[in-house]
A = this chain, B = another copy of it.
Amino acid sequence: MINKETIGYSFGMIKLNGNTYQYSAEIFFEMFDDRLKLMIIWYLSNGSMRFKELSKYLQPITNKTLSAKLKQLEELHLIEREVFAEVPPRVEYTLSPHGQQLKPVIDEVIAWSQHYAKTFGQTINEE
């Protein structure tokens, strides 16, 4: 039997964008059920980035996919899009307040990964 306290207390049902959730964490799991959105949050947790810059780090990603993911994240209120009236065009993506609140999640992901890498991975030093 699930212990409601440990798994994230359920005080009823949550309605969000037409969907119903019993536990709020399910919102996160559905939101980040793909390969890319949380990675983009991770990159942006470092500061704002341009479209092309993100594209470079996420290679091999296509413009279509990146564009779609950024739009989804904006609709989820996790990032903000700023267009500069320049030639060539410049668009910067930044974490919204709610996106920035994902920083503790990202930090724990980094900490866990470093520990996991130390146990099971092999490190190749640079010089």
Name the interface residues of A84-118: CB closer than 8 Å to any CB of B.
98, 101-102, 104-117
Residues of B within 8 A of A17 (CB): 120
The reply to whether B104 and A119 form a contact with Cβ atoms under 8 Å apart is no
- Beyond the given A8-B113, A8-B114, please list 16 additional residue pairs across the A-B interface where CB-CB is below 8 A: A2-B57, A7-B43, A11-B123, A13-B124, A14-B122, A14-B123, A21-B117, A24-B113, A24-B114, A24-B116, A27-B113, A28-B112, A98-B119, A101-B116, A105-B109, A107-B108
Count the copies.
2
Docked pose: A106 CA to B105 CA in angstroms: 8
The reply to whether A43 and B2 form a contact with Cβ atoms under 8 Å apart is yes
